[in-house]
Structure formats: structure tokens, C-alpha cells
Structure 1
Amino acid sequence: MERELISKKELLDEKGISYGQLYRWKRKQLIPEEWFIRKSTFTGQETFFPKDLILSRIDKIMNMKEDLSLDELADKLSPLLPEYELRKSEFEKRNIVSQVVLQRFASSDEAATVYSFERLLYFYVVDKLLLAGEMSMEEGDQLLQTLRDHFPKFGDKPCDLVFVRKMGVSSFALLSVPSEIYYESGVKLIARLSLVECIERLKGNLI
């Protein structure tokens, strides 16, 4: 399944921004280099973007640029995980993830246990899919293990989570962004999440 793209011209027209603004935001690392995709068309080489990601990112920049400098925005929108820690007891008080998730996946942790931002992110992603009704608790265990095993391998590179199911058997994968993915017949795509977007939303809730 190929991610829907939007051309640079369509993006500038739809959002009412200039070429100069777009590339200034790129230089300031508000928009990842990986999102600028060069493709051949009948008119030559053109630049495209992952549509859902770039539209969401432009909206965030436009909404926040009056209150924050571009450097502050870059830090807020960075795919890098912040050096942030939070006690389990405080995390519970903030109601960022459901009690169901904490009871299932963190029940053995003491109230004084300190979670890294990365661990909080894993809980957040699992909770997001569970609340959407797209995943069972057993699949949540599988997802949590997938994130623990493979998410750290991406470092500061953006990635997506892909959740598929075939004949009742579920699978999870992490893949670099942007990327195209195709499935064999009978595979159903349950969800595709941008972990960059999840990081941004979690940062907004915590920091």
C-alpha cells in the first residue's frame, strides 16, 4: 500500500505558503529532509511529500510560530526523544494513557519507578491502538515487544508503525519514512502510525 503523496505545488497552493517559507522551515529542520521526495513526472523531476505528514506538520508550524521562535519549534517538532523522565505515580496522575494499559503492561512496576520518554512512548502507542478498538490485549503485548526490540535501531530517523492482520494472525513492523509497502493478497492493513507524530503529541502532553 503506497502512502498518498502531495506535490510541492499542490502543498503551496493548499496551505497558502511560499516556496521560501517551505525551504526556510526545511533549513531550520522543522520539516525532515526525508519528506522531500524527488520523483520523475512527464514534466521532469518534481518534489512530493507524504500528504498526511506534511499537512499535519504545516498546520502545527502555522499554529505555533506566533508563540515560539523557529529554533524552539524545531526542538518541539524534533523526532529525537527528549532527555525526560517521569515517575510512574506522576504518569498515572496525568491520565495520558488509560489505567487499563498501566494495569496490563506496568502492573509490576513500583509507584517510584522512573520511566524514560522512550518507555512512556511505548505505553502511549499501545494505548492509542487499544482505545481505537483496533487491537487486542494480546496483540498489545506483541506490539510492546516489537517497539522494545526495534524502535531504538532507528536513532534520530523517523519511522512508521505498520499493523497488519491475515487470517486472524497479526504482525507489526517498523519502517523508515518515507517508504512504500506492498502486501500479499489477503493481508489487511489495520493501522499505520507515524511515530514522529506520536512523539510530538506525547511531548505536548508532558513537556
Structure 2
Amino acid sequence: MEIEYISKKDLLEVMDISYGQLYRWKRKEIIPENWFIKKSSFTGQETFFPKKKVIERIEKIKELKDSHSLDELAEFFSTNPKDVTLSIEEIINLNIIKKETWEKGKQFINQDDSLDFKSILFLKILEKINYKWNIELDEMTHLFQAIRANQNFFETNFELAALEKGNTIIWLFIPIQSEWQFDAGAKKILSIDLKECVNDLNISLSAINK
């Protein structure tokens, strides 16, 4: 799928933000540096951004910036897992995941008294997938195996893609913004931005601690 880009000039206008705001967020790594992409244009070199991602990120920043400091925002959008443990009841009662998600995913989780960040993250990913596609048990098993084999996926920019080829579903971790070429006959049926899953979970967990 071809990525749509937006120029810096258009981004500032569309999102009604200043040059200074944009680069403060860059310095704090609230907007990733690798989203600032230099491209040749008729005026020389110009900065472009992956349109959908940067607009969604700025919308989230604007939603949060009046109630949180820049340092807090930087923590929200960090890929570092939080040192957290929550009980299953807390996770459901605080609306971090839905009860139906837990019922679907619990067989893949070590069910002691509490869940750590990675376990909660797996459930969040499962919930996002299930929102787009009613995933069955066999595919959940394959998904869990793929995530377990790539446990540090959240340390960089990846999307989780499900490819359908014949009667087979293949789960792949694909670098964001890569021009990935799929095998002939394979169709991408869904994709999940894994870094956004981490961001969303960080925000949810930080709100609990305030």
C-alpha cells in the first residue's frame, strides 16, 4: 500500500500549529525524527511527513497538551514498556481492555495474580485486531506465536500485518513506511501499528497513576 505524504507547510496549515511547536515536539521525541523526511521538490529540498500518522499524532497531542506537560507527553509516546503490574479485574474495570478480549486471550497469558506490560499489550493488540476482524482461535494461536518470537517488536516502528494467501493467514512484522512487496496472490487483510498500541497503552496506564 502506497504511503501518502504531506508537506511541512501544508501540515502546519491543516493542523493550525506553528513551526516552533512542531520542532519542540520533535526535540522531545513526541513526534519521531524519522517522520521528518527530506524530499526533492521544485524549490529544492522540502520536509514531508507520513500524512495519516502525523495528523493522528498531532490530534492526540493537542487533545492532551493542556492537561499534561511535554515531559509527560514524551513518556506517553515512548516505546519503553512501563514497569507495571495490574490485576485482571483492574484492567477490565479501568476499561484498558474489554472483558470479551480477556475471555478470548486469557489462555495465552500466564494467569497469576497480575499482568505485566507485555501481557497487557498483547491483549490490546488482540482487541484492536478483533475490532477489525473476528479472529478465530487458530489465528490467535499463530498471532501469539509470532509475537512471542518477536518480543521486542515495540522498540522500533513496526506494523503487524495479516496476509491471506489461499486458505492460510500469515502474520508479519513490517517496518513502518517501507515499500513492502508481497508475494503474488497474497492479500493484506489488516494491519496494526504496533507503536501506536504501545502509545495508547502508555497513555492509559499514565492516566491511572495521576
Verify same fold: TM over 0.5: yes
Gaps of 5+ in 1: none
Distance 1:174 1:11 in 2: 29
Structure 2 counterpart of 1:12: 12
TM-score normalised by L of structure 2: 0.86
Percent of pairs with identical residues: 36
Q: Which amino acid aligns with 1:64?
A: L
Q: Which amino acid aligns with 1:173?
A: L
Identify which range, 163-172 or 127-136, moves more after superposition. 127-136
Q: Is the 8 A contact 1:35 1:178 kept in 2?
A: no
Structure 1 counterpart of 2:187: 188
Superposed CA deviations along residues 71-108 of structure 1, whole A, max 9, x for unmatched, are 11111122222111112343244443344443343248
Query: Shift of the alpha carbon at 1:190?
Result: 1.3
Identify which range, 86-95 or 184-193, moves more after superposition. 86-95
Q: Is the 8 A contact 2:161 2:191 kept in 1?
A: yes
- The 1:88–1:189 alpha-carbon spacing in structure 2 relative to 1, beyond 3 Å, is same
Query: Shift of the alpha carbon at 1:191?
Result: 1.5
Structure 2 counterpart of 1:66: 66
Q: Which amino acid aligns with 2:19?
A: Y
Residue 81 (str. 1) matches residue 84 (str. 2): no
Distance 2:139 2:14 in 1: 39
Identify which range, 104-113 or 176-185, moves more after superposition. 104-113
Query: Shift of the alpha carbon at 1:184?
Result: 3.2
Q: Which amino acid aligns with 1:160?
A: E
Distance 1:108 1:57 in 2: 31
Give secondary structure in 2 for the equivalent of 1:106. Answer: helix
RMSD value over aligned CA atoms? 2.3
Give secondary structure in 1 for the equivalent of 2:155. Answer: coil
TM-score normalised by L of structure 1: 0.87
- The 1:170–1:108 alpha-carbon spacing in structure 2 relative to 1, beyond 3 Å, is closer
Residue 166 (str. 1) matches residue 202 (str. 2): no
